[in-house]
Amino acid sequence: FCEHPHVYTLGKSGHESNLLVNEQELKEKNATYYKINRGGDITYHGPGQVVGYPILDLDNFFTDIHKYLRYLEETVILTLAEYGIKAGRSAGETGVWIDAENPQKSRKICAMGVRASRWVTMHGFALNVNADLNYFGNIIPCGIVDKAVTSMDKELGQKVDEQEVKKKLERHFADLFNCTIV
């Protein structure tokens, strides 16, 4: 797990036009921008997010990147359920969503972008715990124009202990992957 300073990252399948600010505006917001080698489009990382970068040799589990993504999503879904947040998947869109079945209310709480080389995973997920959601206004998150972004603190109406969230994520990950976290 880690926490990044304000940064926007663009995945291999992304479009630079989804960054809505110029270089000067990035400086004013104390943010940076990088093109990186993960899947997905553009996203924001910053304080108040729990970012997880699991490094697994999928040869030891299963060689199916889509199954891997669904397990990562399930890790987050189970964690959010412990806080009384009902989350799930949105058909055809990677990540974790709230009210995914209702397009007018649907909002993303966790973005995912991964890469695997010889079945060894890289990159991962970014769960908005206490994130400043205003930073998402500078991009078209994940290239999706018609859905909002949310965070645990916004959904619950109070700040959330990020260390506690990490422990819960770790436990669910270990259970789903039937592994020990080191």
- Say whether pLDDT at 54 is over 90: yes
Residue of 2, 110, 142, 179 marked catalytic: 142
Helix (H, G, I), strand (E, B) or coil at 128: strand
pLDDT of residue 85: 98
Report d(CA 58, CA 4) in Å as an integer. 26
Average pLDDT, the chain: 95
Reported as a pLDDT band with limits 50, 70 and 90, residue 141 is confident
Phi-psi region of 44 (alpha: psi -120 to 50; beta: other; left: phi over 0): beta
Q: Is 142 one of the annotated active-site residues of the chain? A: yes
What average pLDDT does the segment 90-98 reach?
A: 94
Chain segment 70-82, per-residue pLDDT in tens = 999 999 999 999 9
Q: Is the pLDDT of residue 147 over 90?
A: no
**Exposed, middle or buried by CB within 10 Å (0-12, 13-18, 19+), for 154?**
middle
pTM score: 0.95
